[in-house]
A and B are shown apart, each in its own frame.
Chain A
Amino acid sequence: MILPDLASQIVYGRVGWAIVAATVACAVWRGAAPMRRATLAAILAGALALMALPGNLSPAWYLGLAFQYPSGLLVGCCVLRLTERWNGLPRSRAMPQALAGLLAGAGLLLYLDALGVLTSGYYYAGFGGVVAPLAAIVLAVTCVLAILLTHSRGHAAAVLGAVALFSVLRLPTGNLWDALLDPLLFGWALVALLAGARRRAARRTAGRVPAHDGEPVPGAALQPLAAEHFTSLKEQVGGQ
């Protein structure tokens, strides 16, 4: 059980909450509508400046009071959403159904255990000297493989960032669970699952056969390598 020092937690809390606040501010202000890059940069800079204010002048004072620190993965997903906005993607893929299902399932078990309904000690295992570090390494390697194979690169990078924060600095709390999940991210996952279920139900009502689970079609930048048309050209080149 190795815990981060308070100074690094304070810095992490301010930066993390600034990113989360900027993401929420953009969503509240513009919804899914596109934003100019300058506006986005101004919102992020403003959030960082606000969080850096001293004492109770900073929104981080109140966010910390209520929620303490955001998980690394929540911050990572917010960075992903801000990147989508920066790149002008119209519809968010920051919380896909597969990730939402995973977070909701893990969160349900973790929170039932924390509330005393279960007695498995899942949270305590997140401090462990063997299982938690091994899980962090397995997650990091899996994320790198996913990035190399171009499977959900953005989400793999978000998880990798959260795991790296945990492994290198033990942020935010020294517990692997707190790096990967918090009640706000859990809530986001539940909302995404509900929205996905509503979309599927609406399609069924309209009499359409769903081709997939409601995920938007990936953009060109996230196309898997296998979908790229390069084989025929290579054959032609080789044939000459």
Chain B
Amino acid sequence: MENPAITRPPRHHAILFGCLLLAVLVIAAEALRWRAAHRATAAAGAVPSLTTSNPGRVTLTELSRAHIPAPLGMPSAHASTLAPLPGNRMLAFWWAGSRESGPDVKVFASTWANGAWSAPSMVVSRDTLGAELGFGVRRIGNPVAWTDRAGRIHLYVVATGLGGWAAARIAHLVSQDQGRHFHVRRILPTSPLFNTSALVRTAPLPLSDGGWWLPVYFEIGNKYPMLMAFDADGNPTMLTRIGNSTSSLQPALVAVSKHEVRAVMRDDSDQQLVQHAASRDGGATWQDLPALDLPNYSTSVAAIRLTSGQFLMLHNHVEGGASARSILRLSISDDMRTWRTIADIARGPAGDEFSYPSMAQVGNELHITYTWQRQAIAHHRYRIQPEGTS
């Protein structure tokens, strides 16, 4: 005879069965994913991609300088980024609007082809972004672009939530048609604090498996650099912090060898020097290195490794009566430690602003873009030649 006091009603059994089913689902889902991930990991071992041709020293000869056509009625422009396209063409993205953080700020694009820039076209605004995300975006900020092996353009755009840049998130957009149309893939998860305070500014670093590392930085109170790794399809695979500094941001990543990567960074400390960190294990761990002997009054830098093997850096130099962003200098190095000046790309009296540089090697040409007086995006083009040739 069964005691009625311990008889469980059928509803309890159903709940217990449901919970058991959920637990089985959890185990099955994780096991299936683990199996798929294990296969992918066994097939790939991504290291920074190094393309070297004609190793040795190079000289740069200026070919042209111009402003990228500005959108009508947009007096403020800032934060350009470059994405190479097939056929020695290139896309430039930047934001423009009535003022920084204004509600009318949008990301614009222009195509470089046959030696000229096309008229700018709007890529994304806070309204178009919000409509695709299903929630609001307060303001639009820095874009960063990347062309993957399949020719897709990945555009990362700073999009803030409720608040200033400290409430920033990173939207990931993808174009399948070389920049004519973009769709939002997702907001990248970077922080447990309502996913806020993560921004992008500097160019990604290519990996041997077709993936790339996107430099990211955090900036509520403490400022620190991070990187998010992507596979060849543009899916994030890893997020990690670069070093232990709490006053470095906007890391520019450069591969020194297949296993060693350096980051040069904007300095927000009283040291006012270009900050420096290194990873020797494929980006998994990073060590802070002594700062470079180059001034940095909290301004963004850009760095690349040329196919010749030398390194170039664009940075704001400060000397004499110059202000933080009134001299934009191009420097070259053989070892990422000792730098010599090639040229001052732009120079003006204190108070002028030539900032937020980007550069890309397209064939045997070096393309540089930067913010010109917060009003336009300037473009300089150089021919890269082996030293001793003319």
CB within 8 Å of B: which residues of A? 1-6, 9-10, 13-14, 55-56, 60-68, 110-111, 114-117, 119, 121, 123-124, 126-127, 129-130, 133-134, 136-137, 140-141, 143-144, 147-148, 156-157, 160-161, 163-164, 167-168, 173-175, 177-178, 181-183, 225, 228-230, 233-234, 237
Contact = CB atoms under 8 A, between A and B. Distances in A.
B333 interface: no
B383 interface: no
A141 B23 contact: yes
B53 to A, nearest CB: 34
B30 to A, nearest CB: 4
Given A147-B19, A237-B1, A13 B29 contact: no
| Residue of A1, A10, A137, A237 with most partner-chain B CB within 10 A | A1
B187 interface: yes
Given A116-B224, A127-B238, A143 B162 contact: no
Nearest to B218: A116
19 contacts: A1-B236, A1-B238, A1-B239, A3-B186, A4-B186, A10-B134, A13-B135, A65-B136, A68-B194, A115-B222, A119-B244, A127-B239, A129-B37, A133-B30, A140-B26, A143-B19, A175-B192, A178-B195, A228-B6
A111 B222 CA distance: 12
Contacts of B186: 3-6, 9
A178 B189 contact: yes
**Of B29, B30, B41, B244, most A-chain CB atoms within 10 Å:** B30
Given A137-B30, A173-B189, A3 B235 contact: yes
B26 A68 contact: no
A96 B120 CA distance: 57
A182 B194 contact: yes
Interface residues of A: mostly helix, strand, loop or mixed? helix
A229 B6 CA distance: 9
B374 interface: no
Contact of B5 (A64, A183, A229): A229
A174 B192 contact: no
A127 B186 CA distance: 16
Contacts of A233: 3, 5
Contacts of A126: 192
Task: Tell me whether chain B's interface is mostly helix, strand or loop, or mixed.
Answer: mixed
A116 B3 contact: no
A157 B12 CA distance: 13
A65 B187 contact: no
A119 B235 CA distance: 25
Give the one of A60, A65, A117 with max B CB within 10 A.
Answer: A65
Contacts of A228: 5-6
Nearest to B245: A116
B264 interface: no
Interface string B215-232: 000101111100000000
Contacts of B189: 3, 127, 173-175, 178
A163 B191 contact: no
Contacts of B30: 133-134, 136-137, 167
A146 to B, nearest CB: 10
Given A66-B161, A147-B19, A168 B26 contact: yes
Given A116-B246, A143-B23, A233-B5, A124 B135 contact: no
B384 interface: no
A114 B37 contact: no
Which among B23, B41, B192, B240 has the highest number of chain A CB atoms within 10 Å?
A: B192
Contacts of A9: 134, 186
